[in-house]
Chain A
Amino acid sequence: MKQKTKNDILMGNSTSRKVFVTINTILLITITFITILPIIHIISLSFSSTQAAEGGLVGLLPVQFSLKAYESILGKTSFYKALMISVKRVLIGVPFSLLCTILVAYPLSKEKNKFSARKVYVWFFIITMLFNGGLIPTYIIVKSTGIMNKIWALILPSAVSVFNILILMNFFRELPKELEEAALIDGAGHTSILTKIYLPLAKPALATLVLFIFVFHWNSWFDGLMYINNIEKIPLQTYLQQILTMPDTRFMSADQLQELGNASRRTNNAAQIIISTIPIMIIYPFLQKYYTTGLVLGSVKS
């Protein structure tokens, strides 16, 4: 008789086990396909000809392969403008938010005997996690600080994220205390301890935060809708929200839609969805890795 491996003993090796494994695999593949099919369909739609899309011929593969939708989108100034606003938002917003996170996480990572006001600040930030003024007061405050219609309206109100601060603060706290002690004895101040010791050691945590903040800024659309009234200055996701999901067009009758939508509407929309997803797709593998490790650390710690 064949020697049983440890795996066989644990998992069993009977017929029923084999049946289970087969069914399980089929089930998992089905779930996975259901999750991804809508996205594959949209990709195919974007690469199909308008006739095929309108005729309802597109399933999971492009029909009558065509790049027309992409050509017409890339030539569309409104799309291009919105894309540039999003790029600008990311280029200013990510460093700014990261800086704010570092500047709070470092002091809060100190023990109480090194920073006696720590507890006061901790509560100062916790309260903002538990309670907020709500939509309208926030809108009024943003309006009265005079940043409406400026890129700062998309950056300043969300610059300090308590969640991100927590991640970095916990990372700082794990660093060996001896490094800081040694630097203090050598006469280093807080600024040099932070920039020369903490930040270089915290590169993995900082990379995680850059990804988090990047995704946040790239995906945000509601602040663009609230704080930017000038259609020329809205970021990409807000622009997409306006053209993809505006309720007034969705609840028109079929005839009205036919009149309104020139034939290329569906493929164009699909192409716009795909283009705006590209940055996320590119960093997706990194994102997943960091999210996974971050979550594993977070949940197993206790």
Chain B
Amino acid sequence: MIGQKINANRFSHRSNYSQSKFKKQLPLHMMMLIPVILVIIYCYGPMLGILISFQDYVPSTKGFFYSLINGKWIGLDMFKYIFKMPDFPSIVWNTFFIATMKIVAKIIFPLIFALLLNEVKRSWFKKSVQTITFLPYFLSWVILGGILLEIFSPRTGIVNQIIGCFGMEAKYFFGDPKTFPYMLVLTDLWKDIGFNTIILLAALTSIDPTLYEAAAIDGAGRLKQTLHITLPGISSIVVLIAILGLGNIMNAGFDQIFVLYGPSVYSTGDIIDTYTYRMGINNGQFSLATAVGLFKSVVSFVMLTISYWIANKYSDYRIF
């Protein structure tokens, strides 16, 4: 904003035109004033805050800037430390593993679901199925976590009672490090299947119907039509979803894991975000947690940039 004003003044001697143009556009600048200030404070402020990962940061009562300026600079020591930490490879791996499985599951299953749904010709049935499967998407992970912990509870949960009826032993699905990551993928799929299906269904309905007619006249059955028309027809949107998923490879789902996990599953369920929370907020190791967070932000930034770039090149996908 201020930069704009200075710019306009500097060039004003060259042409009155640009100054009058600026005057004309001033209301547009003014409109954005409050949102821009908020973004500077709450989005760019934290970017400045990243500096504390290069410091031995001790919060002081005199405020953030005072602590920052008077803090002891330690260079890259914190990063050398975290790369040597025994937990570090496992939290990075967990993050990557859970996120990748989620991305793959959320492409394959909604795709099958959408293809099956596409075969249904009764629209009321199609609509009811969509409406019902879409519901969990709108509930928060706290609510869903409450529901899941209740039904999977080892002692009283209905799932373990049903398993018990078949003579199997009760299992603590969310307390066992072996099953925990798969439970995360399954329950995440449960939440989002309706949402992802709708995107794919939209792509399915946009396929030119005359293609099907032509194929049918040529004697292609429904299976052949699916293989040769439907799948190629939506391949571009599937690839787009996969590419955009690449940018999320560092986001294994903080909310979900936070409400579902506990110390017994840290070995397979702890991701960068949950680790940062525990180290930073619970244990007060601000510099350490910020350094771990910065590692994630940098990798995410690179992945996002690459995925947007590919998406733009591949399918004209643009953010703005």
Do the two shown chains form a genuine complex with each other? yes
Residues of A in contact with B (beta carbons under 8 Å apart): 6-7, 9-12, 17, 20-21, 24-25, 27-29, 31-32, 34-36, 38-39, 41-42, 45, 53-54, 56, 58-59, 100, 103-104, 106-108, 110, 114-117, 121-122, 124-126, 128-145, 156-157, 159-160, 166, 169, 189-191, 194, 215, 218-222, 226, 237-238, 240-241, 244-245, 247, 250-251, 254, 257, 266, 269-270, 273, 276-277, 280, 284-285, 287-288, 291-292, 295-296, 299-300, 302
- B289 with A135: CB separation less than 8 A: yes
Complex interface: chain B residues within 8 A of A302 (CB): 315-317
Query: A141 and B42 in contact (CB under 8 A), knowing A100-B34, A124-B36?
Result: yes
- B151 with A41: CB separation less than 8 A: yes
Q: Which residue of A lies closest to B117 (CB)?
A: A28
Shortest beta-carbon distance, B201 to chain A, in Å?
9
Q: Which of B132, B142, B145 interacts with A36 by CB under 8 Å?
A: B132
- Taken together as a complex, chains A and B put the C-alpha atoms of A113 and B211 apart, in Å, by 43
- B46 with A299: CB separation less than 8 A: no
The A/B interface has a contact count, at CB < 8 Å, of: 297
Most chain A Cβ neighbours within 10 Å, of B52, B146, B221? B146
Q: Assign chain B's interface to a size class.
A: 35 or more
Q: Which residue of B lies closest to A158 (CB)?
A: B42
- B136 with A35: CB separation less than 8 A: yes
Interface membership of chain B positions 256-296, coded 1 if the CB is closer than 8 angstroms to chain A and 0 otherwise: 00111111100000000100110011000010011001101
B206 within 8 A of A: yes
- Taken together as a complex, chains A and B put the C-alpha atoms of A11 and B308 apart, in Å, by 38
Shortest beta-carbon distance, A26 to chain B, in Å?
11
- B297 with A134: CB separation less than 8 A: yes
- A273 with B42: CB separation less than 8 A: no
- Taken together as a complex, chains A and B put the C-alpha atoms of A124 and B128 apart, in Å, by 42
Q: Which of A12, A35, A107 interacts with B135 by CB under 8 Å?
A: A35
B202 within 8 A of A: yes
- A137 with B50: CB separation less than 8 A: yes
- A166 with B49: CB separation less than 8 A: no
Complex interface: chain A residues within 8 A of B138 (CB): 215, 219, 280, 284, 287
26 A-B residue pairs with CB within 8 Å: A6-B213, A28-B116, A32-B128, A35-B194, A58-B158, A100-B34, A117-B29, A130-B301, A131-B301, A134-B294, A136-B281, A137-B49, A137-B50, A138-B42, A139-B280, A141-B45, A157-B42, A219-B139, A219-B140, A221-B140, A221-B141, A222-B254, A245-B259, A254-B154, A257-B155, A277-B139
Shortest beta-carbon distance, A291 to chain B, in Å?
7
- Known interface pairs A21-B119, A103-B31; 12 further A-B residue pairs with C-beta atoms within 8 A, sorted by A's residue number: A35-B193, A134-B46, A136-B49, A136-B52, A136-B290, A140-B49, A141-B49, A219-B142, A245-B259, A247-B261, A254-B154, A302-B317
Most chain A Cβ neighbours within 10 Å, of B45, B131, B154? B45
- B64 with A144: CB separation less than 8 A: yes
- B133 with A128: CB separation less than 8 A: no
- Taken together as a complex, chains A and B put the C-alpha atoms of A61 and B7 apart, in Å, by 70
Complex interface: chain B residues within 8 A of A135 (CB): 273, 276-277, 280-281, 289, 293
Complex interface: chain B residues within 8 A of A191 (CB): 27
- A299 with B32: CB separation less than 8 A: no
- A295 with B263: CB separation less than 8 A: no
- B46 with A138: CB separation less than 8 A: yes
- A166 with B222: CB separation less than 8 A: no
B47 within 8 A of A: yes
Interface membership of chain B positions 113-140, coded 1 if the CB is closer than 8 angstroms to chain A and 0 otherwise: 1001101110001001101111110111
- A266 with B150: CB separation less than 8 A: yes
Complex interface: chain B residues within 8 A of A194 (CB): 31
- Taken together as a complex, chains A and B put the C-alpha atoms of A152 and B297 apart, in Å, by 26
